[in-house]
Amino acid sequence: MAYSLKKELEKKERFVGGHKLCAGCGAGVTVRAVLRALKPEDKAVITNATSCLEVSSYMYPHTAYTESFIHSAFANAAATCSGVETAYRALKKKGKVQDTFKFITFGGDGGTYDIGIQSLSGAMERGHDMVYVCYDNEAYMNTGIQRSSSTPRFADATTSPVGKESPGKIQNKKNLTKIIAAHNIPYAAQTTFLGDFRDLHQKAEKAIYTEGPCFLNILSPCPRGWRYETSDLAEICRLAVDTCVWPMYEIENGVWRMTYTPKKKLPVEEFLKKQGRFAHMFNKGNEWMIEEAQQYVDEQYEKILSRCE
State if pTM tops 0.85.
Answer: yes
pLDDT at 14: 96
Omega before residue 167 within 30° of 0, cis = no
pLDDT at 1: 62
Average pLDDT over residues 201-225: 98
pLDDT at 77: 97
pLDDT at 256 over 90: yes
Determine if residue 95 is left, alpha or beta; phi over 0 gives left, psi from -120 to 50 gives alpha, anything else beta: left
What is the rounded (10 degree) CA torsion for 293, 295, 296, 302? Answer: 140
Residue 189 β-bridge partners: 216, 250
pLDDT band for 60, please (50, 70, 90 cuts). Answer: confident
Distance CA 303, CA 294 (A): 14
Look at the chain and report how many structural domains it folds into.
1
Residue 95's domain comprises 5-307
- Do 198 and 6 meet the contact criterion of CB atoms below 8 Å apart? no
pLDDT band for 9, please (50, 70, 90 cuts). Answer: very high
pLDDT in tens, 64-104: 999 999 999 999 999 999 999 999 999 999 999 999 999 99
Distance CA 249, CA 129 (A): 22
In this structure, what CATH number is given to the domain that contains residue 66?
3.40.50.970
- Do 246 and 300 meet the contact criterion of CB atoms below 8 Å apart? no
Mean pLDDT of the chain: 96
pLDDT in tens, 257-279: 999 999 999 999 999 999 999 99
Per DSSP bridges, beta strands 187-191 and 162-163 are unpaired
For 28-115, list the strands marked E by DSSP. Answer: 43-49, 58-59, 62-63, 68-72, 101-108
pLDDT in tens, 29-46: 999 999 999 999 999 999
